[in-house]
Amino acid sequence: MAPSKPITRFWEWGKNIICVGRNYAEHAKEMKNTLPTEPLFFLKPSSAYVREGSPIVRPYYCHKLHHEVELGVVIGKRAQEVPQAAAMGHVAGYALCLDMTARDTQEECKAKGLPWTLAKGFSTSCPVSDFIPKEKVPDPHQLKIWLKVNGELRQEGHTSAMIFSIPYVISYVSGIIALEEGDVILTGSPQGVSAVQEKDEIEAGIEGLLTMRFQVAQQKYRP
């Protein structure tokens, strides 16, 4: 059944957040990762969304919280086993997303062969902008995305540099996970990821379309 809320507030729908990793060669290189031959992907829980006005909270177990600025693709129509040629017909629009990453935890998970959930799926790990309808974006592979910390430019990337295009990612993922209306695909981070501290101000944008700002806070809770 179609959700009754407008897709302009997709982050309230409780749908899937699918994240592609290592989709920009320069970022894979800075992380000393090999280039993927097929998209690498992982999930965040939908409760990971956070909106402007609320802080990004560094988890109590993390000492190296990294920002990754990424273009989010918002699915508008269920997609299962969709060929590349039809993939863009399943897109409702876009959003700017941050794939906040507990990098030290991720390194530990990689070394131990454990899943990345603690590193990628904690609450507030997916700051998200307003919805951008697809009509406003003639070509999603011609966007400049950027991120500043305390006014200093840290990331600047062009979506033309993606290794796997948006139609390919939709086609590939839809052959494994059925995509639903309101799902979002984070398309991977360009280079320049770096650590942020409590009280840091993160500003990110898609050139010519929108900007968003978040402050970093520290989780006080200990189990």
Residue 22, contacted partner among ligand OAA, Mg ion, none, CB below 5-8 A by kind: ligand OAA
136 close to 209: Cβ distance less than 8 angstroms: yes
d(CA 103, CA 50): 19
- The residue written with tokens 């070394």 in the block is 111
Residues in the interface with ligand OAA (CB under 6 A) total: 10
Q: Is 21 in the site for ligand OAA (CB under 6 A)?
A: yes
Report in angstroms how near the CB of residue 79 gets to ligand OAA at its nearest: 21
Report in angstroms how near the CB of residue 94 gets to ligand OAA at its nearest: 16
Could you give phi then psi for residue 190, rounded to 5 degrees?
A: -75, 180
| Residue among 105 and 189 whose Cβ is closer to Mg ion | 189
| Residue among 157 and 182 whose Cβ is closer to Mg ion | 157
Q: Is 22 in the site for ligand OAA (CB under 6 A)?
A: yes
Q: What is the dihedral of CA 2, 11, 17, 97, to 10 degrees?
A: 140
Q: How far apart, in Å, are the Cα atoms of 129 and each of 10, 116, 152, 204?
A: 11, 24, 20, 9
The radius of gyration of the chain from alpha carbons, rounded to an integer in Å, stands at 16
Q: Is 188 in the site for ligand OAA (CB under 6 A)?
A: yes
User: Exactly one of 59, 99, 106, 143 binds Mg ion (CB under 5 A); which one?
Assistant: 99
Q: Which stretch binds ligand OAA (CB under 6 A): 21-29, 43-51, 57-65, 80-88?
A: 21-29
- The residue written with tokens 């998200």 in the block is 128
d(CA 146, CA 222): 34
User: Exactly one of 99, 102, 171, 185 binds ligand OAA (CB under 6 A); which one?
Assistant: 99
Q: Is 27 in the site for ligand OAA (CB under 6 A)?
A: yes
Q: Is 78 exposed, middle or buried (0-12, 13-18, 19+ CB in 10 A)?
A: middle
| Residue among 78 and 141 whose Cβ is closer to ligand OAA | 141
Burial 36-64 (b: 16+ CB within 10 A, else e): beebebbbbbbebbbeeeeebbbbeebee
User: Exactly one of 23, 124, 159, 189 binds Mg ion (CB under 5 A); which one?
Assistant: 189
Interactions with ligand OAA, residue window 55-94 (CB under 6 A): 68
Report in angstroms how near the CB of residue 114 gets to ligand OAA at its nearest: 14
Interface residues with Mg ion (CB under 5 A) are 68, 99, 189
Binding site residues, ligand OAA, CB under 6 A: 19, 21-22, 27, 31, 68, 99, 101, 188-189
